[in-house]
Amino acid sequence: MNAPVSIDILKQHLIDPEICIRCNTCEETCPIDAITHDENNYVVKADTCNGCMACVPPCPTGAIDNWRTLLRADAYGVDEQLTWDVLPTQGAVPVATLATENAGASDIIEPGPQTDTVRGSTVPPWSAAKPHVNLYTHKAPTTATVVGNYRLTDAATDSAIHHIVLDFGATPFPVLEGQSIGILPPGASADGRAHHARQYSIASPRDGERPGYNNVSLTVKRVVQDHDGNATAGVCSNYLCDLKKGDVVNVIGPFGGTFLMPNHPNSHLLMICTGTGSAPMRAMTEYRRRRRLKGATGKLMLFFGARTKEELPYFGPLTNLPKDFIDTNLAFSRTPKQPKRYVQDAMRERAPDVAQLLKDDNTHIYVCGLKGMEDGVLQALKEIAEGQGLDWDALWQRLRKEGRLHLETY
């Protein structure tokens, strides 16, 4: 009898091309250069990845958290992954084929469970409309014409946030609130490679910035400093903020298949954002505002944080929305002579009303903005839930599974 053969099974790390927004975060994060990309996809090299998981939490969409269990010899190669439009399905791996001495013929290795490192949902709400994704790629981008570019923040502030409207003319570009698009800035980086696409959430509803028009809006902050506070000019944000009416930009996308709003009219939206993370909240709120006229009854509750009132994008239009339509709570962190206040502080102040929403199966939660807010917001949700006698861990798992907790932070 042959000696037992070792079972060389691989839990292969893959990136879902349908969900990935090509933001380059994973490639930047990977400590051992196991992630690469071309004009089409971001992919993981099976022979380099050591499963350290460093790339998983920073991924804004959860596209990174996909795994297939298969024989190492059958691992998907980079070239093959680069051609994918969808992930392959998980096949069962029959242990019998591995010729182990003791394996019974019916032994099957089931695909491993998804890791718990992605803290939000990786599925959309059950009633979300079906999104179109990847209609335009690096290889075949489309173009849009700038029809508006307005500064949203007070000219006296350091923070220049722009509202930019792009029109696709006769080119089909169907989008849903919560999706994003990629902008291809002209030029190349220091290594001579073309700049990779920068991704921006769409700030307008599915039927257009102006209803019935084939256009989208973006909320873009001019980047003038890096994360350490050193002066730098963000490639794409400066390009976008400097655009003039009539300029033409190269666009890819749309991207994103999970951070989508529910379509059933009695669904509630609990929206928590900071700074330009308000873009998808604006899209959802405006869609609901238009739909309200047609009978949507669900509640909208918004927590929105910015440094000051003058730096809060859409301050005027937001504060003009009727109180019976949206329950808006603002938190400013740098108002002179005032204590620092973050969105999670505002949430705690409204604990009974937030808890009321948490108890309702029709509530969908959206968090968008700075990476740093994610821990604080989840902690606040936990405290609020537990303060009302809810089992947060069980509720959290249910929210994730049911596509009701969406986190998009950078």
Instruction: Give the residue numbers annotated as catalytic, written as ranges.
Output: 200-201, 368, 408, 410
Taking the complex as a whole, the smallest distance from the CB of residue 166 to ligand NAP amounts, in Å, to 13
Single out the residue of 276, 285, 329, 363 in contact with ligand NAP (rule: CB under 6 A). 276
Taking the complex as a whole, the smallest distance from the CB of residue 133 to ligand NAP amounts, in Å, to 17
> Is 334 labelled as part of a ligand binding site?
yes
Single out the residue of 376, 382, 383, 402 in contact with ligand NAP (rule: CB under 6 A). 376
Q: Report whether 222 contacts 200 (CB < 8 A).
A: no
> Is 221 labelled as part of a ligand binding site?
yes
Taking the complex as a whole, the smallest distance from the CB of residue 21 to ligand NAP amounts, in Å, to 10
Q: Count of CB atoms within 10 A of residue 32's CB?
A: 11
Complex with ligand NAP: residue 17 or 256, whichever CB lies closer: 256
Q: Report whether 153 contacts 310 (CB < 8 A).
A: yes
Single out the residue of 368, 378, 384, 385 in contact with ligand NAP (rule: CB under 6 A). 368
> Is 401 labelled as part of a ligand binding site?
no
Is residue 277 a contact residue for ligand NAP (CB under 6 A)?
A: yes
Single out the residue of 182, 185, 256, 369 in contact with ligand NAP (rule: CB under 6 A). 369
Taking the complex as a whole, the smallest distance from the CB of residue 238 to ligand NAP amounts, in Å, to 14
Complex with ligand NAP: residue 137 or 180, whichever CB lies closer: 180
Tell me the pairing of strands 300-306 and 327-332: parallel
Our CA dihedral for 275, 280, 281, 282, rounded to 10 degrees, sits at 90
CA dist 122 and 120 (Å) reads: 7
| Distances from the Cα of 290 to the Cα of 206, 214, 296, angstroms | 11, 17, 9
Residues between 136 and 165 that touch ligand NAP (CB under 6 A): 159
Taking the complex as a whole, the smallest distance from the CB of residue 280 to ligand NAP amounts, in Å, to 7
Residues between 42 and 61 that touch ligand NAP (CB under 6 A): none
| Distances from the Cα of 382 to the Cα of 302, 362, 385, 398, angstroms | 18, 18, 5, 14
Which is nearest to 180 in space by CA: 335, 23, 48, 308?
23
| Secondary structure of residue 319 in the 3-state scheme | helix
From the CA atom positions of the chain, what is the Rg in Å? 23
Is residue 275 a contact residue for ligand NAP (CB under 6 A)?
A: yes
Is residue 274 a contact residue for ligand NAP (CB under 6 A)?
A: yes
Which is nearest to 283 in space by CA: 323, 313, 244, 306?
313
Is residue 333 a contact residue for ligand NAP (CB under 6 A)?
A: yes
Q: Which residues of the chain form contacts with ligand NAP (CB under 6 A)?
A: 159, 200-201, 219-221, 274-277, 279, 305-307, 333-334, 342-343, 368-370, 372-373, 376, 408, 410
